[in-house]
Structure 1
């Protein structure tokens, strides 16, 4: 970095024992530095965007007589690599046009906050989204919210699959449809809406019933991530089992989600973690298992869809902080009841990554 500065959202705090906390503990990004001699605190204070790294090291040497040149250089380098520091005057990003930069400017602000990888210009996660290819199956409550969010986020190619037509009872939660759409194929209406949301990406679709593992395996060919928002056929040996096998063989990650009444949960699976079947085997059966019960509101559907989209974006941008192979979620009736389930690979599993 030419002129580093601490990200304003990561402003350092100095605790009473001399420990420095960067990133904010409540955001899950905190880094603690034990700094009894004050070297790190001084270096962070000097990282205000007006000095080059060599100048910061030189001022440290001038302020601390016992500090060596090697120690000063190592300290500055470690702070630059921590992810809590950014370039004051970032380099150019030629992969995005000015229209795209304006459209995604708030996304960039979010990514630079949560991204702990040093970047040249901060647009790198958005560039990854632009080149990404996502297959989304199921345009119901979860799927319509997920599809809207992925399109708005700038996923470069989004392909939608659903065999159904819009019904009046869908309109309490399926965000892409309106009353005039009743009777239309869901794919037709959804593609039309999403192209109006974001004309800078490719949105396609087909009114197809996924009727077996071979059909699903053909669909995922050429895509980077599967967003599985369909719930039929249910488990055991249903569409999620098909996805588990097909995605494992193809070596691509996938996300699935939905709602069981007030319980909203999402599963994330892919290379580096246990598969769907192994994680699910550790979860006790529950009413509505498999997202099959009909009770749903626009809010519960919206939360499940947005969580699916969020996890897809995390996988595509490389910003995931938890390796794949888990379910997570929440209960709308109990704000303290957060869901996180992760179980190890079972002996002899043929599909774990």
Structure 2
């Protein structure tokens, strides 16, 4: 398989659930399967997997043909645009906490089959689902419903704050299905089965983040919203790149983690955690930017070492000389002398 080939990780059970929704409404999934390039014979293979692209295609086709964004989960249809309406009701919230609370409350107004609740206990936040009646006649439709609703709100939450929210845990009130290993892709963090309710848990610090999207961005997102549910969210730009740029261009405003985090609309704790997820630390990035600035000044100017130290962000010449020797094995003067051609 080519290195760029899409990974088939979505279990065939979810496609079977969509086919069951067609049967419930007395319709045939032939066209939707064809659009997603899923052969009817594949449906009988319990071990088969499809790609995120195929899942997106068959989900959208089914939602439109059945006029039900819930795909048969609930006792009544959710017409096309229902989940977009929930997003619109949340976009004006000042923080993620209020946006999620609104989404959960309004979801109950359009589908009272389930009740979603945002809860916080200490440093952990959880979104739980209480089942008020049997979902989709049980079985595959129930699993598909619980997984999809949680991935829907998680994907929207990540998009609203433009940050991937890693999960501490996902849990479900059913036994491990034959495709349980697929949950490692469906949800970041460990997954537990045979629990009392379906839920996802994450660091409560994310709830304090301000929303970073506006109505214009929402309109654009809703034109192609399904990937938020089908794929794990990725930031538009890596945080490491954004931090590096701020350190290089706004030196006076980025002395401490709190000031830098404020510029990025993050909490200091979230800043450190997300940098760690990308394999970096704030101190290492500071050192990288300082070393680059100091090296350039040593090579391209004749400024005294004390001025280079100050321009590179050090409080005094002594701390700069100690750091520079740790980076290069040389003092700033030795580095400049060896790198500068002698007359």
TM-score for both structures, normalised by structure 2 = 0.28
Structure number with larger C-alpha Rg: 2
Structure number with higher helix proportion: 2
TM-score for both structures, normalised by structure 1 = 0.28
